[in-house]
Amino acid sequence: MTFELPKLSYELDALEPYISKETMEYHYGKHHQTYVTNLNNLIIWTEFQNMSLEEIIKKSPAWPIFNNAAQVWNHTFYFTSLNKVENKVPNWVLLEMVNRDFWNFEEFKTKFNDMALKNFWSGWTWLVLNTTWNLEIINTSNAWSILTMPDKKALLTCDIWEHAYYIDYRNARAKYLENFWNVIDWVVIEGMV
């Protein structure tokens, strides 16, 4: 099996001014593509060459196959849930869950951003649904993926590796997180609940 860089549902400049075309050219076009290329090269003639991306993540050793496979999956998940849309909050089902578990949407955003700022390492901040149908915000470091946690289902992720925001925001992760909320496609995320 050969993996390919997944196509975006939007143009590279569609997220401006919050995420620039230049960032997308590097983040999606170069970083994401490199993970795909590396994974394809690493799995040739191994037990993983005919597995799905999810199987590779769940069965491969910690690195380097795992790192590249998890980064392909994490980045695909991230880019799929972005788009510049009018609806800046989720619709009723997810919004009710957010209100139940975080008091209200603004409090949820504050807690999510706080978790992302406290994630010392490069990595990911996730909104997940657990097995009791409660929402949680968790951090993973480096390439670690929610797919390694069978009791969690990913709904939303924010890439907090510096390559996701450095061109646009330099070292101002907080500003990147503040603007992240302007490019979330809640329709896609609600489809995963």
- What's the confidence (pLDDT) of residue 142? 93
State the average pLDDT for the chain. Answer: 95
Is 145 in contact with 153 (CB distance < 8 Å)? no
What would the mean pLDDT of 95-124 be, rounded to a whole number?
Answer: 96
- What's the confidence (pLDDT) of residue 95? 96
- What's the confidence (pLDDT) of residue 47? 94
Question: What band does 128 get if pLDDT is binned at 50, 70 and 90?
Answer: very high
- What's the confidence (pLDDT) of residue 179? 97
In the chain, domain spans: 21-80, 92-190
Q: Give the number of other Cβ atoms within 10 Å of residue 1's Cβ.
A: 11
pLDDT in tens, 57-90: 999 987 899 999 999 999 999 999 999 887 788 9
- What's the confidence (pLDDT) of residue 92? 84
- What's the confidence (pLDDT) of residue 189? 94
- What's the confidence (pLDDT) of residue 188? 94
- What's the confidence (pLDDT) of residue 172? 96
Ramachandran area for residue 142 (φ above 0: left; ψ -120 to 50: alpha; else beta):
left
- 23 vs 49, 57, 81, CA distance in Å? 31, 27, 17
pTM score of the predicted model: 0.96
Tokens of 70: 């998890």
Least confident of 83-92, 100-109, 152-161, 180-189: 83-92
What is the bridge-based pairing of β-strands 123-130 and 135-141?
A: antiparallel
- What's the confidence (pLDDT) of residue 68? 97
CATH superfamily of 92-190: Iron/manganese superoxide dismutase, C-terminal domain (3.55.40.20)
Tokens of 96: 């009710």
91 contacts: CB under 8 Å, gap ≥ 6: 186, 187, 190
Report which of residues 106 and 1 the model is more confident about: 106
What distance in Å separates the CA atoms of residue 154 and residue 137, rounded to the nearest whole number?
10
What's the CATH code, domain 21-80? 1.10.287.990
pLDDT in tens, 35-49: 999 999 999 999 999
- What's the confidence (pLDDT) of residue 87? 79
What distance in Å separates the CA atoms of residue 192 and residue 129, rounded to the nearest whole number?
10
Report which of residues 85 and 14 the model is more confident about: 14
What distance in Å separates the CA atoms of residue 89 and residue 139, rounded to the nearest whole number?
22
